[in-house]
């Protein structure tokens, strides 16, 4: 086959692919507007299949602050305490005080401006739904999604009780779930770095004599000495 | 030709001259050149040269002795490492990429740092499913084979940085080694399809504003992602560096969220729910919110700011030789391309621009070098990244002034390595 014939064959193949709707047409903006369907409706490939409603239900475990996604159910502080002691206390402590380096679940109120902020449901978490969602999807650690919905309601109620958010007699239900505001719900705002840190955009950063005095060492990692591997001094040739 | 329009050799020479000038300002004779430092012939000949070595005489392994290759046995020390005291268990923990042992911009798949919340999910690809549901015309289920049949497959190199990278250094220098201070970042080539392709297939409703990405692992990892980002450049990928994803990186499929914090790049991706509000999941309320000094927190701080680190020399890679040396490092920005990297030897008093080599891709690691001569002088090495939006990597003090020290996440402050006269290098804070 001559070179020009090869090229011709290639062009024909390309044209064929484009005709078959395999993407080449989209790479030519505004070349043939009449051939492009309305932009709002992208072409379907027909790949994949429609989900069965039971499949969607099985995997839809996410819960939002407004209660969307909450399953029917209820659980009391008392019921939650029993479950907590057998399923959770080994890591989180009997009263949510934490064990070892496992997360503390209670206390920490008023600690957010201090040296050691403690981020619990009572001190930090803005929404109760996050606790329910997380316990349901990821706890107990190593045996995820093994709790019934009622058990998750009960555990959530117990963690609320540990944080002095509800009395010992409290029962949490899907119906009363969104009525309990969290103390730190107003403590968050959306990313504002592009305005609050505007000064970090600088067309002409200093290049010479940028410090009035020579720098001096004010802290050394070596003093804390927590680096995993041993330090061996080099030999300079 | 480089982006500056100069040949590599020219930029090398210019940068080298400029760098030595800066060193001169630091007050020492660093400009002593290699001339005259060259070693004389040894008194006795080197037996490694004068005798035939085993590897030059006998046959080595045949072609199928190593059907899946591994690094040389002499590179066994080049591994991911963890910091045991950081976490309560190994399954919800992190290890770190040995940045000081690598070069160029691509991280070998086996050295990409790991962060799991419920251990590595081992998933048979034939049993994996990806569901798109919520505010869509038709909830859909895809197999991995379905995904690989979609038109419009793409390849991109992107960095993935944990928002907590350098997070242990907010209050001061803590760990000796860029592996530990900066090693929660890696950069690989991804192959996959735009998330938009799958969303189009399901038909996103007009009131949709947010996506929830969910993993199939035992933590059921979830993050809310603005729909706009999902349609813009997010990918559903099955390949890294040309081969299947490693299990620890989300095999068989993961989400890629270019330039945004690594926690959002959900591994073992099993579901995308489309909604009109964020879900405020555990990872976006209790974690990955930035607590500021006034006790309030920034949330949805998705973008990773421009950052850089000198990987060599560094505490795990001290200087061993006087004379010619190569300073090397990495720079990256979640807002786009790196436009310049400056390097200082005197703790930020004087700066010179480093030589950037290799591809400069948006939201990808970028490699920089400074070729220099060293005469044993003490140095305080820093690097400063600048991206195409004009963002300049701040000093740690500038960052602390705005953010306090309780943020945990997004610490992109300028790092200082103190190189001693014997070449030993340590992580320090300067004032």
For residue A14, the model assigns a pLDDT of: 42
**Between A and B, how many residue pairs show a Cβ–Cβ distance under 8 A?**
269
Q: Which of residues 373-412 of B touch A (CB under 8 A)?
A: 376, 380, 384, 386, 389-392, 394, 398, 402, 406
pLDDT, averaged across chain A: 85
**Helices and strands, number each (H, E), in chain B:** 9, 23
**What CATH number is given to the structural domain containing A90?**
1.10.760.10
Q: DSSP string covering B282-335, please?
A: HHHHTSS-EE-TTS-EEE---BPPPEEEEEESBTTB----SEEEEEEEEEE-TT
- pLDDT band for position B368 (50/70/90)? very high
pLDDT in tens, B92-128: 999 999 999 999 999 999 999 999 999 999 999 999 9
Residues B361/B157, Cβ–Cβ less than 8 Å:
yes
* Bigger pLDDT: B427 vs B11: B427
Q: What is the overall mean pLDDT for chain B?
A: 92
Beta sheet of A188-190, edge-to-edge order: A188-190, B297-299, B290-291
C-alpha distances in Å from residue B373, one per residue of A105, B29, B315, B370:
55, 10, 19, 10
pTM value?
Answer: 0.88
Q: How confident is the model at residue B5 (pLDDT cuts 50, 70, 90)?
A: very low
Q: What is the ipTM of this complex?
A: 0.89
A80 in a structural domain:
yes
B372-405 residues labelled b (16+ CB within 10 A) or e (exposed): bbbeebebbbbbbbbbeeebbbbbbebbbeebbb
Of residues B7 and B24, which shows the higher confidence score?
B24
| Cα radius of gyration (chain A) | 30
- Chain A interface includes B18 (CB < 8 A): no
Q: Is the pLDDT of residue B44 over 90?
A: yes
Asked if residue A150 is part of any domain, the answer here is: yes
Distance from CA of A231 to the nearest CA of B (A): 8
Residue B392 has pLDDT above 80, yes or no: yes
The model's confidence at residue A228, banded by pLDDT at 50, 70 and 90, is confident
Structure tokens, B75: 């590179």
Task: Return the pLDDT at A43.
Answer: 80
Q: What's the structural domain count of chain A?
A: 1
Q: Does A170 touch chain B (CB under 8 A)?
A: no
Residue A11 has pLDDT above 60, yes or no: no
B5-18 mean pLDDT:
37
Residue A233 included in any domain: no
Q: Does residue A44 belong to any structural domain of this protein?
A: no
Whether A157 is in a domain gets the answer yes
Is the pLDDT score of A28 beyond 90?
no
What is the rounded average pLDDT of the residues B49-55?
97
Could you read off the pLDDT of B128-181 as tens digits, one per residue?
999 999 999 999 999 999 999 999 999 999 999 999 999 999 999 999 999 999
Domain boundaries, position A84? 75-186
Closest A-chain CA to B282: A130
pLDDT above 90: residue A40: no
Cβ-nearest to B298 among A112, A137, A192? A192
Domain assignment of residue A82, yes or no: yes
Say whether A220 and B429 touch across the interface (CB within 8 A): yes
β B269-275/B210-215 pair status: antiparallel
Give a yes or no: residue A46 inside a domain. no
- Does residue A58 register a pLDDT over 90? yes
Closest CA–CA distance from residue A129 to any residue of chain B (Å): 8
The strand ranges marked E within B99-252 are 130-134, 140-142, 154-161, 185-194, 210-215, 222-226, 235-240, 243-244
Work out the pLDDT band at A2, boundaries 50, 70, 90.
very low
For B201-238, b/e burial (b = at least 16 CB within 10 A) is bbbbeeebebbbbbbbbbbbbbbbbebebbbebbbbbb
Q: Is residue A92 part of a domain?
A: yes
User: Has residue B79 got a pLDDT over 60?
Assistant: yes
- Put simply, the chain A residues between 43 and 102 with a CB less than 8 A from any chain B CB are 43-45, 47-51, 55-56, 59-66, 68, 91, 100-102
């Amino acid at each position: 086959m001559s070179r020009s014939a090869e090229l011709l064959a290639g062009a024909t193949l390309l044209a064929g692919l484009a005709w078959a709707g395999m993407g080449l047409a989209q790479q030519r903006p505004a070349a043939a507007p009449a051939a492009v369907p309305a932009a709002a409706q992208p072409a379907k490939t027909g790949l994949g299949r429609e989900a069965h409603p039971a499949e969607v239900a099985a995997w839809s475990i996410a819960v939002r602050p407004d209660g969307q996604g909450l399953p029917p159910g209820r659980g009391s502080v008392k019921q939650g305490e029993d479950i907590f002691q057998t399923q959770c206390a080994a890591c989180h402590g009997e009263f949510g005080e934490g064990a070892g380096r496992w997360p503390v679940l209670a206390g920490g109120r008023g600690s957010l401006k201090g040296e050691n902020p403690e981020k619990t449901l009572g001190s930090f978490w803005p929404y109760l739904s996050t606790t329910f969602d997380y316990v349901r999807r990821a706890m107990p650690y190593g045996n995820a999604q093994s709790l019934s919905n009622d058990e998750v309601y009960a555990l959530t109620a117990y963690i609320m009780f540990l944080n002095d958010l509800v009395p010992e007699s409290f029962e949490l239900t899907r119906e009363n779930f969104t009525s309990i505001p969290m103390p730190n719900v107003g403590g968050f705002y959306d990313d504002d770095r592009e305005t609050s840190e505007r000064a970090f955009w600088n067309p002409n950063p200093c290049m010479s004599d940028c410090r009035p005095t020579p720098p001096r060492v004010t802290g050394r990692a070596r003093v804390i000495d927590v680096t995993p591997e041993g330090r061996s001094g080099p030999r300079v040739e | 030709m480089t982006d500056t329009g100069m040949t590599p050799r020219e930029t090398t020479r210019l940068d080298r001259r400029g760098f030595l000038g800066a060193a001169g300002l630091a007050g020492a004779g660093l400009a002593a050149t290699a001339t005259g430092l060259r070693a004389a012939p040894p008194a006795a000949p080197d037996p490694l040269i004068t005798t035939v070595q085993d590897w030059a005489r006998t046959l080595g392994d045949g072609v199928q002795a190593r059907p899946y290759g591994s690094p040389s046995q002499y590179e066994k020390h080049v591994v991911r490492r963890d910091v045991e005291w950081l976490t309560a268990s190994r399954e919800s923990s992190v290890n770190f990429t040995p940045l000081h042992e690598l070069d160029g911009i691509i991280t070998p798949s086996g050295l990409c740092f790991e962060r799991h919340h419920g251990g590595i999910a081992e998933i048979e690809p034939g049993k994996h499913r990806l569901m798109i549901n919520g505010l869509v015309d038709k909830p859909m289920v895809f197999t991995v084979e379905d995904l690989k049949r979609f038109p419009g497959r793409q390849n991109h190199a992107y960095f993935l940085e944990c928002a907590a990278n350098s997070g242990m250094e907010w209050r001061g220098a803590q760990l000796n080694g860029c592996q530990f201070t900066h090693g929660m970042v890696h950069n690989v080539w991804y192959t996959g399809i735009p998330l938009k392709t799958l969303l189009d297939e399901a038909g996103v409703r007009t009131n949709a504003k947010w996506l929830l990405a969910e993993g199939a692992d035992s933590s059921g990892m979830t993050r809310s992602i603005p729909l706009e980002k999902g349609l813009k450049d997010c990918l559903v990928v099955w390949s890294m560096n040309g081969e299947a994803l490693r299990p620890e990186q989300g095999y068989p499929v993961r989400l890629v969220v270019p330039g945004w914090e690594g926690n959002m790049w959900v591994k073992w991706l099993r579901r995308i729910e489309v909604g009109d509000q964020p879900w405020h999941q555990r990872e976006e309320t209790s974690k990955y919110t930035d607590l500021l000094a006034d006790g309030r927190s920034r949330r949805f701080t998705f973008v990773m700011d421009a950052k850089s680190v000198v990987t060599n020399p560094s505490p795990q890679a001290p200087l061993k030789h006087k004379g010619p040396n190569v300073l090397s490092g990495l720079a990256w920005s979640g807002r786009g391309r790196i436009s310049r990297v400056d390097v200082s030897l005197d703790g930020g008093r004087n700066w010179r621009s480093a030589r950037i080599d290799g591809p400069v891709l948006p939201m990808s690691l970028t490699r920089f070098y400074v070729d220099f001569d060293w005469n044993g002088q003490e140095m305080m090495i820093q690097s400063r990244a600048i991206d195409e939006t004009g963002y300049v990597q701040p000093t740690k003090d500038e960052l602390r002034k705005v953010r306090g020290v309780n943020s945990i996440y997004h610490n992109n402050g300028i790092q200082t390595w103190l190189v001693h006269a014997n070449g030993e290098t340590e992580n320090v804070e300067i004032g």
